[in-house]
Amino acid sequence: MEHIFMGEYDVIVIGAGHAGCEAALASARLGHSTLMFSINLEAIAMMPCNPSIGGTGKGHLVREIDALGGEMGRNIDKSFIQVKMLNTAKGPAVHSLRAQADKNRYHLEMKKTLEHTPNLDMRQGEVTDLIVEDGKVTGVVTRTHTYYKAKAVILATGTFLRGKIFIGDAAFLSGPNGLAPSVELADNLREKGMKLRRFKTGTPARCLGQSLNYDEMTEQQGDEQIVPFSFMDDNIGENKGLCWLSYTNEETHRVIRANFHRSALFGGQIEGIGPRYCPSIEDKVNRFKDKERHQLFVEPEGLDTDEMYIQGMSSSLPEDVQRDFYKTIPGLENIRIVRPAYAIEYDCIDPQDLKLSLEYRGLENLFCAGQFNGSSGYEEAACQGLMAGINAVQKIEGKEPFVLGRDEAYIGVLIDDLVTKGTNEPYRIMTSRAEYRLLLRQDNADQRLTEKSYRIGLADEERYRRYLKKIQAVKQEKERLEAKTLGAAELREFLVSHGTTKVEGRTSFMELLKRPQISYDDLAEIDDETRPNLTYHEKTQLEVEIKYEGYIAKQIQQIERYKRLEDKKLDESLDYESIDGLRLEARQKLNQVKPLSIGQASRISGVSPADINVLMVYLEKKRREKN
């Protein structure tokens, strides 16, 4: 059947989840005509799993997305129910903001932003094929036999690609949340030589809040001080709801163990690999036999619905078993389930087939983002979408890819992990994955990234001015604190009241603030000068920079050593089969990944230190020949 031409765009984005939204917004905000496809426009920024943004490690990604000019941070600031800073008992490197979201409002606010963004069109429709000419992607074909031309295409299909739902022995093709799957596109991608594999994730049941007994659960309040995700926001209002904590017990585990044989996970129906760090409840019971209980959180799905999300209890067990084991949990004895838990399996690629720009190696002008790249999580998807959108534009404009290093951002760590190391399970960011996490904190994401984004044209003037104001405010206040001193006698009572040791002679406020017992706000008790009215973001960065000055200096030295390897560049067209001395496995892995530097090559699984020495000798030989 003849296809009907419907128009031409610079960038076409396939998918409107968290990756697709950020990709489309980045492309459009950079001044390029953009078309975003969604099987259903109700799927825009949908939260098919947990109704929250942020969390350990993930909060860092959201701040970085915001610092670069992305939308996720601003959108959750508009639509949160409850905000909490995690890991506050630990150092600032691992403090991570998390917000419970009103999932419907999150969707509506993002949809509204997309609708009012210049250069951006949205279309409800299913893309079924890519148009490829001479190894380059030049457009897309839809199910309704229309086609669109494009200079670049971004695949952000989430869990829709040949999605399959499992509930006990019931298995059927479906996207998340009962939406239609994308089957034909998956088949056509395979025909074009793309190697796809199967991953799996899952989600817990939803129930009616009115059916729960909250007296049997522990109330979980948000923070008294509400901290915004976005550097553009100062006051975002108050917490609007509560979460609740409960636990499984031996009876819960008994019901689950008695029905292992009815689980799709253990029955062999699921072929995809699931996330190790987010196992289903039957997987937890099976793997952690010594645990007497597992915690679960009951969280509101929104302010205009009675639905509650049971975090930590995803499952592929049949509905009757789900009903039985949920009822054994304190507070859930009379639970009325409105949406059963399920597992979902989907197609994705091996991210080692991507460049660090997220361009697919096998087809030029095709970029990939989100769960299609083997990651899991809204935040991981969003940051990849943002980078794919930026790099699609960089490619169209004939500019160098915009790539962040492991020393510059958690986004850099995530993409480098996926592309260089690959992943055998759905990838999740964690603070432990970052070697330089003391520098990659939440509070300084704008300092690390906003100027870079401003140079490529994504961060706007308002954001850039706000960033410069913060840098100047922190600098001036540090200078004031260093210059202001008090004598030992004047400080005696203040130091005793804060449980810290006395000082000898005059001491600067800067030195006082380095003490763990004293905060910046505490200094107001002895500060007779008019203090600057610092924002939360300014105050936090000031305090961390002063308290951790020595540790930060050491980490900067480590980064300098790291950069020496990153500065030793490798030609992307280099054929490693031609280099004598490399082991067979190293040649295969190096030819697959095509590293851009010795540093990246050293992080490839299967490339040994001996192989790196061979590459160093090769580079030195080539340098001498050139000279």
**What is the pLDDT, as a whole number, of residue 573?**
87
Nearest-angstrom CA–CA distance, 374 and 383: 14
The tens digit of pLDDT for each residue in 576-621 reads 998 888 998 999 999 999 999 999 999 998 898 899 988 998 888 8
Select from 327, 343, 359 the last residue of a domain: 343
Residues 490, 449 share a domain: no
How far apart, in whole angstroms, are the C-alpha atoms of residue 78 and residue 101?
Answer: 9
Q: Where does 192-302 show beta strands of DSSP type E?
A: 196-203, 206-208, 218-220, 243-247, 295-300
The enclosing H or E element of 368 equals strand 366-368
Share of the chain above pLDDT 70, in %: 100
Vertex 621: Cα angle to 620 and 626 (nearest 5): 95
Distance (Å, rounded) from C-alpha 437 to C-alpha 444? Answer: 11
| pLDDT-derived band at 351, boundaries 50, 70, 90 | very high
Q: Does some domain include residue 468?
A: no
pLDDT, greater one: 92 or 212 = 212
Last residue of a domain, one of 293, 323, 343: 343
Query: How confident is the model at residue 132, as a pLDDT?
Result: 97
Specify the CATH number for the domain of residue 12.
Answer: 3.50.50.60
Q: Is residue 467 part of a domain?
A: no
Examine the domain organization and report whether 498 and 605 are in the same domain: no
**Is residue 418 included in any domain, yes or no?**
yes
Residue 378: name the closest of 173, 166, 75, 27 by CA. 75
| Same domain, residue pair 229 and 145 | no
Q: What is the pLDDT of residue 183?
A: 96
Same domain, 67 and 88: yes
Do 254 and 278 lie in a common domain?
A: yes
3-state secondary structure of 17: coil
In a domain, 482, yes or no: yes
Asked whether residue 460 is domain-assigned, the answer is no
pLDDT at 397 over 80: yes
Length in residues, the chain: 627
Q: Give the separation between CA 179 and CA 189, rounded to whole angstroms.
A: 21
Write down the mean pLDDT value for the chain.
95
Residues 339 and 349 placed together within one structural domain of the fold: no
1 pLDDT above the threshold of 80: no
Number of domains the chain is built from? 4
Q: Please choose, from the candidates 175, 208, 410, the residue with its C-alpha nearest in 3D space to the C-alpha of residue 307.
A: 208
Distance of alpha carbon 331 from alpha carbon 325, whole angstroms: 12
pLDDT, tens only, 447-472? 999 999 999 999 999 999 999 999 99
Count the Cβ atoms, other than its own, within 10 Å of residue 278: 18
Cα separation of 610 and 591, whole Å? Answer: 17
Contact 310, 323 (CB under 8 A): no
For the purposes of burial, counting CB atoms within 10 Å of the CB of 566, is it exposed (0-12), middle (13-18) or buried (19 or more)?
A: middle
**Does residue 232 sit in the same domain as residue 314?**
yes
Classified as helix, coil or strand, 8 is strand
CA distance 455 to 150: 25
Identity of residue 280 = S
C-alpha span between 118 and 403 (Å, rounded):
26
What's the pLDDT tens digit per position in 248-299? 999 999 999 999 999 988 888 888 888 887 889 999 999 999 999 999 999 9
> What is the identity of the amino acid at 150?
A
* Lowest mean pLDDT, pick from 271-280, 357-366, 371-380, 477-486: 271-280
Residue 162 and residue 14 share a domain: yes
429 is a domain residue: yes
- What the block records as the tokens of 600 is 């990246």
How confident is the model over 129-139, as a mean pLDDT? 97
Q: Are residues 178 and 137 in the same domain?
A: yes
Same domain, 79 and 162: yes
Q: What is the mean pLDDT of residues 343-347?
A: 96
- The H-or-E segment that residue 510 falls in is helix 509-513
In a domain, 497, yes or no: yes
CATH number at residue 512: 1.10.10.1800
In a domain, 601, yes or no: yes
Q: Where a domain ends, among 552, 587, 616?
A: 552
Q: Which of 553, 386, 509 is nearest to 456 (CA)?
A: 386
Say yes or no: 545 and 572 in one domain.
no
Helix, strand or coil for residue 405?
coil
Instruction: Look up the CATH number of the domain holding residue 318.
Output: 2.40.30.260
DSSP string over 50-64: -SEEE-TTHHHHHHH
pTM for this prediction: 0.94
Nearest residue to 26 (alpha-carbon basis) of 582, 457, 623: 457
The per-residue pLDDT for range 29-72, each reduced to its tens digit, is: 999 999 999 999 999 999 999 999 999 999 999 999 999 999 99
Report pLDDT for 563: 85
- Predicted pLDDT of residue 278: 82
CB 386, CB 70: distance < 8 Å: yes
- The CATH number of the domain where 582 resides is what? 1.10.150.570
Kindly state whether residues 156 and 234 are assigned to the same domain: no
Tell me if residue 529 falls in helix, strand or coil.
Answer: coil
Q: Which residue range forms the structural domain that includes residue 233? A: 206-343
Rounded CA gap, 80 and 76, in Å?
6
Q: For 616, what's the count of Cα atoms within 13 Å in the CB-facing half-sphere?
A: 12
Percent of the chain with pLDDT over 90: 85
Q: Where are the beta strands (DSSP E) in 62-135?
A: 80-86, 96-101, 120-124, 127-133
Pair 52, 99: CB distance under 8 Å:
yes
Q: Record the tokens describing residue 396, joined without a space.
A: 């169209």
Residue with tokens 């302010």: 303
Residues 6+ apart with CB under 8 A from 9: 33, 34, 35, 121, 148, 149, 150, 151
